[in-house]
Structure 1
Amino acid sequence: MQISLRHIEVFHAVMNAGSLTKAAEVMHTSQPTLSRELATLERLLGFTLFERRSRRLFATEKALLFHDEVQRSYVGLQQLVESARAIRDDTNSHVQIACLPLFAQTLLPRMSKRFLQAEPSCRLGCCSLDHSLLMRELLDLRHELGVIEVGVSIDGVEVEEVTVGEEVCVLPAGHPLAAREVIAPGDLDGEDLISYASSDPYRKRFHGLFMDPRFSQHVRLEVTTAEAICAFVLQGIGVALVNPISARAYRDRGLVVRPLSISIPFVVGICRPQGRPMTPLAAVAARLLVEECREMADELSVPGVWTSDR
């Protein structure tokens, strides 16, 4: 005899109800029947699920551990049931988007407002992940769309690229370089720098464009996100190069932002797995993401956007 779904349902009901009596009421059966089912499950599992004391059941530590796994399975099963019901009723209106942390705080909120207004019956899922995990989950088909910063090679995905301004230099208030309207690579010579980790492809891209091996030697602090870089610069620890979206968000907190004398385009990529048909709702979300990127680009192209008074 093997463990059946019925055995798991009985165990789950007893754990949730807290007693055989309540579980029997929920399952519309008798206490002796549930008791026999539990005894069979314990025999098949090879360990005790409940201790019987004073005519009551007390879950063992192993029962609690096992129930954790059962609950996870029930969540997955419930999602399958809901998906099947949605497919049957033609109401499968859910779009899942993965993005870098940067876009979860900037681009996605703007796009989500427009999307949910245009599609009031649709649910939207936004998951913030680092680049490597995002690409892995996208290729595993766990998300329909991904929003990334383009700057490294991408295999297995189709990408629509939108240039949203250019990388900028951020400075703490009162820094001598704040007096300049434009920052040249040579201006950063000798400055304490805050940057991404040495293995990060974006740091290699930045520093390679400056063509000066001494640039990396001045990095005093390494962090993982542009938001963290801006926060540390705000504390006066050093200066940095970041994307214009993060820079603009922190400019309102007192960060000084200056354009660079060389062009380093900041390119946003709206991507999806190659060969996977895009649902109509995902296509709407992708279009709105592109439109928001272009609107941000227009906002960042206004003359004097970094040097004018806030």
Structure 2
Amino acid sequence: MPCLAQVALLAGPAMQLRHLEVFHAIMLTGTITAAAKLLNISQPAATRLLLRAEDQLGYKLFDRVRGRLLPTREGQVLHAESERIISGLDNLRKLSRNLGAATSGHLRIAAAPALCVDLIPLAITRFRQKHADVSFEVESRQYADLLRVVLNHEVDLGVGFDIQSHPGLDIQTLAPAQFYGIFPKSMGTQLPAAVKIEWFRKHPFIGLRSDDPLGAAFSAAVKLSGVDLQPIVEVKTNQIALALVSRGAGVAIVDQYTAASLNPDLVVARPLSPRIDFTVQTLRAKHQPASVLARKFSATLALTEKTISGVLGPTDKTYRA
């Protein structure tokens, strides 16, 4: 698409953008009066702009025939190029408005698997209720992969747990969070309001591997408690632990977002005593400025997180979207 400089060369160095807009409006409408109305200016102002353009160019753009303006040969040649420029300017104006209002666009999100079950889907649903023209691409990523895709600018926003400080990352805390115990439904009547870590030693325990920050945070807290938990099954993700518990394979300790997604007909959840905390964080490449769209989605994400974190408590409650 030609740029304004190219149109200027075509039309002569004196043709201005406002002249071009009046010229284009007359080509569309056929009269000065209709062109002025289209541009929301007075008819005398439109006439002056056209005369000034023709005077500066040194040739006529229109012939006056029976009350209408018919383009000259020069006007026809100019119109073929100017139409593309005006269309491009309209698209540019729409794009600039949409960027500021975050009404359209595309967001690429990568998040920890546990956050892709409820938090991210619910946040996207809420966001699109107000921004229906925004599309999303969502990836579930383990810790190392999450860092990689953010650092490589493959996504606009990452969301994870207990992200360690990194020189290439801008890390923001989204919310504090905690671990919950999850148990087969049949055990519900045996459970206290809050469960101590040592209680899990009496039952088949399904453990989370400690090779990412979330697993490491849990392992460190258990070690401080002095309790030796020997898992019968060790899993990579909390969702696998939840699936095993729902089938009666044992008990587990998972993040609150996984606990919030449980099926209440199969699984019950309880907070831990004392509680074990971690943080949920957003991350992006440090030298990649956050778009208006990404900032607004992050705000929706924070509000959605409060909805989820507020539904699990001392009693058996489950999250409903």
TM-score, length-scaled by structure 2? 0.61
Change (3 A) 1:207 1:252: same
Correspondence for 1:138 among 135, 147, 150:
150
The total of aligned residue pairs comes to 219
Change (3 A) 1:242 1:251: same
1:124-177: CA deviation from partner (whole Å, max 9, x where unpaired): 221222221111010001111011122x51412222223354211111233388
What amino acid does structure 2 have at the position aligned with 1:153? Q
- Check whether the contact 1:194–1:238 (CA below 8 A) recurs between aligned residues: yes
1:251-294: CA deviation from partner (whole Å, max 9, x where unpaired): 42421211111121242112211122111111111111111112
Q: Does 1:180 align with 2:192?
A: yes
What amino acid does structure 1 have at the position aligned with 2:164? S
CA positional deviation for 1:89: 7.1
Identical aligned pairs, as a percentage?
23
The residue that corresponds to 2:164 in the other structure is 153
Q: Within 2, Cα distance between the matches of 1:288 and 1:241?
A: 28
1:165-205: CA deviation from partner (whole Å, max 9, x where unpaired): 42111112333883322211222234321112253443332
- Check whether the contact 2:181–2:271 (CA below 8 A) recurs between aligned residues: yes
Q: Within 2, Cα distance between the matches of 1:293 and 1:198?
A: 24
CA positional deviation for 1:236: 2.1
Correspondence for 2:136 among 121, 124, 147:
124
Larger radius of gyration: 2
The residue that corresponds to 1:297 in the other structure is 309
Q: Does 1:167 align with 2:182?
A: no
Please give the secondary structure, in 2, of the residue aligned with 1:167.
strand
Listed as ranges, the gaps of 5+ residues in structure 1 are 1-85
Correspondence for 2:218 among 206, 221, 243:
206
The residue that corresponds to 1:57 in the other structure is none
- Check whether the contact 2:161–2:279 (CA below 8 A) recurs between aligned residues: yes
Q: Following superposition of structure 1 onto structure 2, how do residues 207-246 of structure 1 map, counting pairs within 5 Å?
A: 207-210=219-222, 211=224, 215-216=228-229, 218-246=230-258
Please give the secondary structure, in 2, of the residue aligned with 1:219.
coil
Q: Does 1:262 align with 2:282?
A: no
CA positional deviation for 1:305: 4.8
Q: Within 2, Cα distance between the matches of 1:119 and 1:212?
A: 47
- Check whether the contact 1:164–1:296 (CA below 8 A) recurs between aligned residues: no
Listed as ranges, the gaps of 5+ residues in structure 2 are 1-90, 100-104
- Check whether the contact 2:175–2:302 (CA below 8 A) recurs between aligned residues: no
Q: Within 1, Cα distance between the matches of 2:268 and 2:94?
A: 54
Q: Which segment drifts farther, 156-165 or 283-292?
A: 156-165
CA positional deviation for 1:113: 1.4
Q: Which segment drifts farther, 251-260 or 171-180?
A: 171-180
- Check whether the contact 1:168–1:247 (CA below 8 A) recurs between aligned residues: yes
